[in-house]
Amino acid sequence: MTDLLAPLQSLKHGNWFKLICGASFQHLPAVRNLTLAYTLAGADCIDVAADPAVIVATQEALLVAQRLARDAQERGFAFTGDLPLLMVSLNDGEDPHFRKADFNTQECPSDCPRPCEKICPAQAILFNNTKDEFSGVIREKCYGCGRCLSICPYGIIYTNSYVSTPGAIAPLIMSKGIDAIEIHTQVGPLAEFQRLWQAIAPWADQLKLLAISCNDGEGLIDYLQAIYDLIVPRPQFLIWQTDGRSMSGDIGDGTTIATIKLGQKVLAANLAGYVQLAGGTNSYTVPKLQAMGLLNDFGLENNNPKIQNPKSKIAGVAYGSYARVLLSPMLDQLENKEVVNTDSQGNIRLEEKPELLWQAVALAHSLVSQIKSQ
Ligand code: SF4
Ligand code: SF4
């Protein structure tokens, strides 16, 4: 237990915090700076797109965080320099997390009030007045939430989906030093999951953790059990990520209800592995879980957490859109500042503006500490 990595201890204790940067979110400055702020705030896992440039940006931020560990402690944050796990997300079939919106601005009527631009939580839709400047969806910023699709009165926005190619996965794991993989799947025939898993299996023993992310659906528990039987060899740590209401945590408090209900359903099935919530999670999630008695009683008595059969409790929470939107005021300010030094990919470094950095860490910590102070 003592030589177990700190993030895996969090999972065992039931206070695991995961930042979801987004399976299709490729805006490198945001990925880098979100990673830095949430790592210094004590996150256990950073979940990013399976894209080499995104992985490099994330790893660079992790190294910076390690260098800043002492500064973090001096400012009262508990980060000791133990890095979070680096996870990449893959899909075995069509999945909204793995798509990008697009449209042709030439088709937009000139009197359209552009509700698409206002509703986009990622500021991925841009209109410029001159033809020389780009207008439309900024591909790297779009993470596929779909809100622009339903709000366009002319129905001209569409999405392009993509599916992870198994052949590309193994070299990615081998060469990039990834700790964990998450597979997004949906209740249905097992063949697609099986195809993807077969490509990963030869390197499964290098993974510290495997997560399976799934929405609710008829036959969910039987499907998850069948997946469990297929995962051979099985990494030591397995997470069932209950994706209640995908990519919606920033919309309002109530979005968390679906994932809590789904979490209860999977817990009741008593599958081997840990249950972690996602999809609609926000600052309301932990208080709600506490009120329902679904979190470990982590009260510290004589420095010993009172761990009550952790497998019967929710082991952790992952935050995506809520965590990103929470820090967007700081990251937006950063993008508008003149910064001389950038990282190896030309990204603006949050640490170049210490005041903004520590404001961002404090805000990130306000979310991370909800589950950490259990
Ligand atoms: S609203 Fe969602 S799907 Fe549409 S562009 Fe923005 S992030 Fe992409
Ligand atoms: S809402 Fe539809 S028609 Fe209006 S600006 Fe956006 S994409 Fe164009």
**Residue bearing the CA closest to ligand 1, atom 2:** 145
Say what the pLDDT of residue 237 is: 96
Compute the distance from residue 101 Cα to the ligand 1 centre, in Å.
Answer: 6
Which ligand 1 atom minimizes the distance to the CA of 149? 4
Question: What is this structure's pTM?
Answer: 0.92
Say what the pLDDT of residue 306 is: 46
How far CA 319 is from CA of 48, 145, 246, 279, 285, in Å, comes to 12, 14, 11, 8, 10
Domains in the chain, please, with CATH? 5-95+165-324+367-373 (3.20.20.70), 99-161 (3.30.70.20)
Q: Is the CB of 115 under 6 A from ligand 2?
A: yes
Compute the distance from residue 26 Cα to the ligand 1 centre, in Å.
Answer: 13
Compute the distance from residue 116 Cα to the ligand 2 centre, in Å.
Answer: 6
Per-residue pLDDT of the chain (374 residues; tens, 9 = 90+): 458 999 999 999 999 999 999 998 999 999 999 999 999 999 999 999 998 899 999 999 999 999 999 999 999 998 999 999 999 999 988 888 899 999 999 999 999 999 999 999 999 999 998 878 899 999 999 999 999 999 999 999 999 998 877 777 777 766 788 999 999 999 998 999 999 999 889 888 889 999 999 999 999 999 999 999 999 999 999 999 999 998 898 998 889 999 999 999 999 999 999 999 999 999 999 999 999 999 987 544 444 444 444 568 999 999 999 999 999 999 988 887 765 567 776 777 899 899 999 999 999 999 999 999 86
Q: Is the CB of 148 under 6 A from ligand 1?
A: yes
Compute the distance from residue 206 Cα to the ligand 2 centre, in Å.
Answer: 46
Q: Ligand 2: which of 102, 110, 116, 149 to mutate, most ligand atoms within 8 Å of CB?
A: 116
Q: Is the CB of 20 under 6 A from ligand 2?
A: no
Which ligand 2 atom minimizes the distance to the CA of 103? 7
Say what the pLDDT of residue 298 is: 54
Say what the pLDDT of residue 261 is: 96
Compute the distance from residue 173 Cα to the ligand 1 centre, in Å.
Answer: 29
Compute the distance from residue 38 Cα to the ligand 2 centre, in Å.
Answer: 34
Q: Is the CB of 207 under 6 A from ligand 1?
A: no
Q: Is the CB of 157 under 6 A from ligand 2?
A: yes
Say what the pLDDT of residue 163 is: 82
Q: Ligand 1: which of 25, 134, 139, 142 to mutate, most ligand atoms within 8 Å of CB?
A: 142
> Could you tell me if 157 and 190 are in contact, meaning their C-beta atoms sit under 8 angstroms apart?
no
Which ligand 2 atom minimizes the distance to the CA of 157? 7
CA distance 328 to 216: 30
Say what the pLDDT of residue 300 is: 43
> Could you tell me if 187 and 213 are in contact, meaning their C-beta atoms sit under 8 angstroms apart?
no
Say what the pLDDT of residue 174 is: 67
Say what the pLDDT of residue 302 is: 41
**Residue bearing the CA closest to ligand 2, atom 8:** 108
Q: Is the CB of 122 under 6 A from ligand 1?
A: yes
Q: Is the CB of 144 under 6 A from ligand 1?
A: yes
